[in-house]
Amino acid sequence: MNPRKLLVFFNLLIIYTPVYVSSQNVNLEFPFFSLRNLSLLGDSYLRNGVVGLTRELEVPSSSSGSVIFNYPISFFDRSTNVTASFSTRFSFSIDNINPSSFGDGLTFFLSPNNQTLGSPGGYLGLVNSSQLTKNRFIAVEFDTKLDLHFNDPDENHVGLDIDSLISIKTANPMSKAIDLKSGNLVTAWIDYLSDKKKLEVFLSYSSFKPDDPILSVEIDLSDYLKDVMFVGFSASTEGSTELHYIENWSFQTTGFHPIRPRIHPHNVSDSTIPLRPPIAVSDSGNRNHKRIGLGLGIGFPTFFCAVLVIFGYVSVKKWRGIKTEKSLKAELMTGPREFNYKELKLATRGFHHNRILGHGAFGTVYKAFFMDTGSVSAVKRSKHSHEGKTEFLAELSIIACLRHKNLVQLQGWCVEKGELLLVYEFMPNGSLDNVLYNDSQSGEALKWSYRYNIAVGLASALTYLHQECEQQVIHRDIKASNIMLDGSYNARLGDFGLARLMDHGKSPVSTLTAGTMGYLAPEYLQYGKATEKTDVFSYGVVILELACGRRPIEREGESQKMVNLVDWVWKLHSEGKIVDAGDERMNGEFEEAEMKKLLLVGLSCANPDSAERPSMRRVLQILNNEAQPVIVPKMKPSLTFSNSLPLSINELVFDSEDDCCGSPESQIEIRVD
């Protein structure tokens, strides 16, 4: 190793030793969490790279928990009398198994105490109920309960707290159409500008920072930031089933000047460097001395450098080994685990038919009860075929790396006794397909607020897959039966067996056409090239299903004529009666403006011309009132191809003429060479 590089390496070891008490700018990045640099206190826990702050129980309970970065951070430089600015960005969700059982909320805090854990309830896990003045902190609270004891204005507010839970100033996020308790993933930005003495809080359902803050407070925090501080999150409940999750986090301080090495110049005054006359020596002796000096001058540094290189090589190799081992342990800790076949067989009662939750193109899904932990999961048992194995490997390799609130979370896998098994978190409300059609026939139709929330959640998941992952993920099989609903009817996209990874900006390649008839984009049927725009088309069809309560292709009336949902809605749009497409089973109990918006978004996504379809990020912004809707032409655009379709639409549809179109099984799975 080059001695200069080795010197740089040792300097890096010193600089990046994790002790942040010196006045240096700090930059922390946690795209997902592990236990390497964090402390979990109280009821908090880590699962699949996501921090849960309170107990995850189906019955109301009282709970508090916090997660704290292990190392203190300096916000004040005594030598320059400078207080640092700081900014943080994190994504959180506040969910609830029982929407009526809300409270109490979560906080982001700075505290000189690295053991900050307070009482449950309105104390938000920040302060002890019997020692209200014990804990010191600066916190931004995201409060979901009206607590008059702390002068709360309402049950959905953001506030700045300093050493007290009575906020200095509060704001209601509903002014930006954000409900803290929606269960959707919310991204928060908190910026403190030391020079302007201002703290601002921004919130959005998307990953784009809004222009205007939810909360802006003129305040000088320099008096509160004299000591080193620990940063973290806390949350609490009291008699509630509210759940609090933190999914990613970044934190930076700015304002400190880089530390420069101090140069101590040699003192060269005449009084300290005595002058001596030269001593005469013979020429031959001088030459010998020169040779010896030259030999020592070259040999000793060479020997020293060689020892240094060997030491550096051994140190670097050992350091890399330790780093690799820690990395592997972190991956194993946050990734899906391997189940053994025996426990899955026991949990599903030997894959008994009474435990079947549903059937897919490549396998059957079973409900699994794990007696030792009391938990419930869904186990997907793939078919014993080449396609089944391909789908299993694709699903395991892709979804294991994905983490988003609106994706079904993979918990583990098993390859044993010739079986291919995937274990997912259990979704209490089943699939959207089942809730929209089967449940509504025997009971109350799905409420409009849930429908709109599902549309937003699915758009958020697809924005993540298309534009926020390291590699773009094309799902290829977006349909109502692949959208699962959790206990609060939040959308969770699942079944990644047909998904494909693609580098951003790379042209798609032709593949086998795969998917479900009625959801497939026309250009995908023609050319077999799956892109993000083919996913957008499928999303548009699902959105129209949500709004209309109709399947993509249905037999209509006595004529039993096959009717395409997109065509049916577009016809009403051309007649100026698009709102009439709303599901009649809701009996008009919906927001007309939201219904019109959802129907127009669905049509814009299902545009036959892929170039006219919006991106999923634009769709998400439209649904969140952050962008203007796309203009949808009154007449459905026509699209022609240079070659004929491999099969006509009628041939594909009437291939299952004997099936009942009302059943999910009649939506044909096609694979065209």
Active site residues per annotation = 477
Give 553's strand partners: 564
Residue type, 520: L
The answer to whether the beta carbons of residues 42 and 66 sit under 8 Å apart is yes
What's the Cα-to-Cα distance from 402 to each of 254, 409, 458, rounded to whole Å? Answer: 31, 8, 15
Residue type, 179: D
What's the Cα-to-Cα distance from 103 to each of 57, 107, 135, 143, rounded to whole Å? Answer: 14, 13, 22, 8
Cα dihedral sign, 154-157-162-165: positive
In 3D space, the residue among 151, 160, 147 whose CA is nearest the CA of residue 119 turns out to be 147
Q: Is 346 exposed, middle or buried (0-12, 13-18, 19+ CB in 10 A)?
A: middle
SS (H, E, C) 251-263: EEEECCCCCCCCC
In 3D space, the residue among 95, 626, 56 whose CA is nearest the CA of residue 406 turns out to be 95
The answer to whether the beta carbons of residues 485 and 432 sit under 8 Å apart is yes
Residue type, 612: E
Cα 141 → chain centroid: 21
The answer to whether the beta carbons of residues 617 and 467 sit under 8 Å apart is yes
State the DSSP code for 374.
T
Locate tokens 């000793």: which residue?
300
* Known binding-site positions for ATP: 380
Locate tokens 């391909």: which residue?
390
The answer to whether the beta carbons of residues 490 and 454 sit under 8 Å apart is yes
